[in-house]
Amino acid sequence: MRIMIFCLCAFLSLGFVSGIYAVSDNFDDGNDDGWTRIQGTWSVINGEYAQTDIKWASTTTNETYHRSYFGDVNWVNYTFEAKVRIEKAGETASIPGIFFRVTEKSAKGDYYMFRLDNRAAEGPALIKSPNTILLENKNKPAKAGQNYVLKVDLTGDSIKCYIDGQLEIDLKDASFPKGAVGVGSFNVDCRFDNVTITSKDTASAVSSSGKLTTTWASIRS
């Protein structure tokens, strides 16, 4: 018990100095506790979050994507990143990605999605639910078996999306001003790891690692 209290104090002190309110999940504990699964077949495989269901039923509704959500629907300004990999491509359009400003952690909730696409003529794109492309960089297909770090930076209506540190999407849209986060896919067996969220709205800070749901819930405007 004394060791646990000491560690907590150390985290609090470190966070205050760093000025960062952030949490992360690397799935090394073998579970996805705290995540809300919305369609798909989800599990933790070798320390990565796996979605293995390649089947799909729709391309025009909120049921287009298999998803798993985490966080608070009241989050506003934050950065969110995750490592993403196409493990096995589907026959139609292998699309994995990260979701943000998820308005409701249910099949009906709206969202933005920053996605990869392995079709030759397609590329990274910003999607507004259910499946409207706001902006896409054509002819930049993702490769199966390669890890990509996807990141979104949100401030007000400004949305910036990065792949491996390179800016791919930069626009303004005020459709969904706040929301939770998530990962998901369409017609692909894929993997996610090293999920990290950093709040921009917290004056004093805490930095910690792992699935601490009370910490995640504290990242708010």
Segments of the chain assigned E as strands: 21-25, 36-38, 42-45, 48-51, 66-70, 78-89, 95-102, 112-115, 125-128, 132-136, 147-155, 158-163, 166-172, 180-186, 188-199
Within 13 Å and on the Cβ side, how many CA atoms surround 159? 24
Among 31-35, 96-100, 203-207, the minimum mean pLDDT is found in 203-207
Nearest to 153 by CA among 169, 141, 142: 169
| Per-residue tokens: 20 | 């960062």
For residue 142, the model assigns a pLDDT of 98
pLDDT range class, residue 158, cuts 50, 70, 90 = very high
Q: Is the pLDDT of residue 68 over 50?
A: yes
Distance CA 129, CA 35 (A): 20
Nearest to 32 by CA among 208, 217, 192, 187: 192
pLDDT range class, residue 54, cuts 50, 70, 90 = very high
Q: What is the pTM of this model?
A: 0.85
The residues, ordered by sequence, that sit 6+ positions from 7 with a Cβ below 8 Å of its Cβ are none
Question: In angstroms, what CA-CA distances link 6 with 10, 34, 172, 211?
Answer: 6, 25, 44, 19
Within 13 Å and on the Cβ side, how many CA atoms surround 183? 32
196-216: per-residue pLDDT in tens?
Answer: 999 988 543 333 344 444 444
**Domains along the chain with CATH numbers:** 35-217 (2.60.120.560)
Q: ω into residue 96 within 30 of 0, thus cis?
A: no
